[in-house]
Chain A
Amino acid sequence: MNYKIENIKQITVTKPLKLDCGQTIKNFPIAYETYGKLNEKKNNAILIFHALTGDQFVAETNPVTNKDGWWNTAVGPGKAVDTEKYFIICANVLGGCMGSFGPKNINIKDGEPYGLKFPVITIRDMIKAQESLLEHFGVQKLLSVLGGSMGGMQLLQFCALYPDKTFSAVPIASTASHNAQQIALNELARQAIMSDPLWNKGNYYKDKKIPKNGLAVARMAAHITYMSDKGLQERFGRKLQEKKDYEFTFDADFQIESYLRHQGNVFVDRFDANSYLYISRAMDYFDLSKQFKNGLVGAFQKHKTRFLIISFSSDWLYPTKNSKDIVIALNASGANVAFAEIKTDKGHDSFLVNEPEFLETLKGFLDSNFEIFKNEK
């Protein structure tokens, strides 16, 4: 995958960052994008964290892929996250492949791409790496932080590390600790990538023969987990792909097969296989409760941040139980918390698609909190 670097905004983080693995990095790039305008009082800024395979291009048209931004349903003029009202910042995560420091960057020591020499990173490292962005824009306190899935994990980590830097926070379809099933599914994806001979121990950048097949299978497996049983059945059922009867081959007879293959194929054009390994690993290492003496309750002690936790009834990847655990910890620590479970058949992907109940709830929360935040200052 190649992209036009001129379309990507970057800052260079000069401050040395000691990673959880022990290594220290400095002078590394973090790519970002913004939407809307920062107002004079600088109290309308919202930081969005992207999920595993997302990037900084939240809204409008992604200038690299020429497709819609990944959260176009929620972010834009007049939308739930209204860019006419709010200033949106989103960074590509550390370890990513859309301009931030990641495994395909060139290692100045040997002039080669890092590959597996890139240090193993964590969600906490990602957050520390992004922090400079707030300084860059002169924002002392954000109106809100938003994030779904891995974005929600980053958000919780952000709130735990910098409790005074945001007025409100909305983790969506997320968790405070990756569980066995979530790790297992990530491991499945990693094994698919690593068992592709072209992966070549992460060393595939030079001759541009990327491990397409492995990465595509990883994406197909993941994609199934983003949808619900009922959602899949309603959309695809046993429908055949442009044919009247079975062909008695292993080609894509069923529409669902064809759909998954398509999802796999388009993904490999925009995503780096090593980034997938590194970022999914960071998710697996995520366990916020481990960072505090009192467990998860300790993470939010004496917090003034106003939380809205959202889950989706048919999400089996990050089920409501995960969100409720966050709510319980927040309540136990006396934090300010609202919680809603949205009834939907759209599975984990509900936060990315047009789900009116969800979008209305998000909009109501942001707009009312903006009023409270403005009056507080």
Chain B
Amino acid sequence: MKNEFKIIINLLPAQSRVLDVGCGDGTLIEALINQKDIDARGIELEENKVKQCISKGLSVIQGNAETELGQFPDKAFDFVILSQTLQAFYQPENVLNELLRIGKKVIISIPNFGYWQVRTSLLFFGKMPITKSLPDSWYNTPNLHVCSIKDFYQFCDKKKIKMDRIIGINNEKISSINRVNLEMKNLLSEVGIFLIS
């Protein structure tokens, strides 16, 4: 399992109610149920992945998070997870507002566009970066609104969204991010995980 999922599992208390938005083949949901007895649900766009989830006995609905989160009542979940998908929505701000409405807390991870490899790709080669967490070319990437950890940090600040924890991942290394080390971590983290409310 990827490092990011391990961190997310650690962040979540046992037996909580969780919605995984864009849950893929259900790897994270399955781990949450098995390891922490969490009541985990999911929503996923791709029919094939939904089928895989259902075959594992997971409660996953096929649907588009951009338009279909409205069906969940306010604070329906203790936590809502959005793993490296925010940048693929047409209106990420609207989606984020919906996540904060239906979840008491939200865990969002973003592929960091401020990562040094991304910066050097543009600086030295003049080409759109291709990295482990941004693997697609400019012409076929699903990412419409990429941002850096610093961008998202400032966005939360501006919108008065409370940041309970921020974690940076660089390969196997995990570190806590705060106002003081933000510039450095923005350079060194490939992925950022935000626990917000």
Which of B47, B57, B59, B72 is most buried by chain A, counting CB atoms within 10 A of its CB? B57
- Stretch with Cβ within 8 A of A (4 or more), from B48-56, B87-95, B118-126: B48-56
- Interface flag for A364 (CB, 8 Å): yes
A residues engaging B (CB < 8 A)? 306, 308-309, 327-328, 331-332, 334, 336-343, 357, 360-361, 363-365, 367-369, 371-372
- B63 close to A (CB within 8 Å): yes
Taking a contact as CB atoms under 8 Å apart, the answer to whether B62 and A340 are in contact is yes
Does B58 count as interface, using CB distance less than 8 angstroms? yes
The answer to whether B146 has its CB under 8 Å from any CB of chain A is: no
* A336 lies within 8 A of B55 (CB): no
Contacting residues of chain B (63-103) with chain A, CB-CB under 8 angstroms: 63, 71-73, 76
Please state if B57 and A371 are interface contacts (CB–CB under 8 Å): yes
Q: Lowest 4 CB-CB distances: which A-B pairs, in order?
A: A364-B55, A368-B57, A339-B61, A328-B71
**B60 interface residue per 8 A CB criterion:** yes
In the complex, the answer to whether A327 meets B51 with C-beta atoms within 8 Å is no
Chain B residue at minimal CB-CB distance from A364: B55
> Are A338 and B60 in contact (CB-based, < 8 A)?
yes
Smallest Cβ distance from B27 to chain A, in angstroms?
Answer: 15
| Cα–Cα distance between A302 and B63 once the two chains are bound (Å) | 23
- Report the separation of the CA atoms of residues A332 and B41 in the bound assembly, to the nearest whole angstrom: 13
A367 vs B51: C-alpha distance when bound (angstroms): 13
Distance in Å: Cβ of B63 to nearest Cβ of chain A: 7
| Contact B72 A337, beta carbon cutoff 8 Å | no
Output the residue of A306, A343, A365 with the most chain B CB within 10 A. Answer: A365
Q: How far is the CB of B150 from chain A (nearest CB, A)?
A: 35
CB within 8 Å: A-B pair count? 65
Candidate in A309, A338, A342, A367 with the most chain B CB atoms within 10 angstroms: A338
Give the most central of B54, B56, B71, B76: most A CB within 10 Å.
B54
Contact assessment for A340 and B50 in the assembled complex, using a CB-CB cutoff below 8 Å: yes
Nearest-CB residue, chain B, relative to A360: B51
Query: How near does chain B come to A25, taking the closest CB pair, in angstroms?
Result: 39
Q: Closest CB-CB distance, B45 to chain A, in whole Å?
A: 11
Contacting pair B59 A306 (CB below 8 A)? yes
| Minimum distance in angstroms from B98 CB to a CB of chain A | 13
Which residue from chain B places its CB closest to the CB of A363 in the assembled complex? B55
Instruction: For the complex, give the distance between the alpha carbons of A331 and B19 in Å.
Output: 11
Contact A343 B47 (CB under 8 A): yes
The complex places the Cα of A308 from the Cα of B53 at a distance, in Å, of: 11
- Given A328-B71, A338-B50, A361-B51, 19 further pairs, Cβ under 8 A: A309-B61, A331-B76, A332-B71, A334-B73, A338-B58, A338-B61, A339-B50, A339-B60, A339-B62, A340-B47, A340-B50, A340-B62, A342-B47, A343-B47, A357-B51, A364-B51, A364-B55, A365-B54, A372-B57
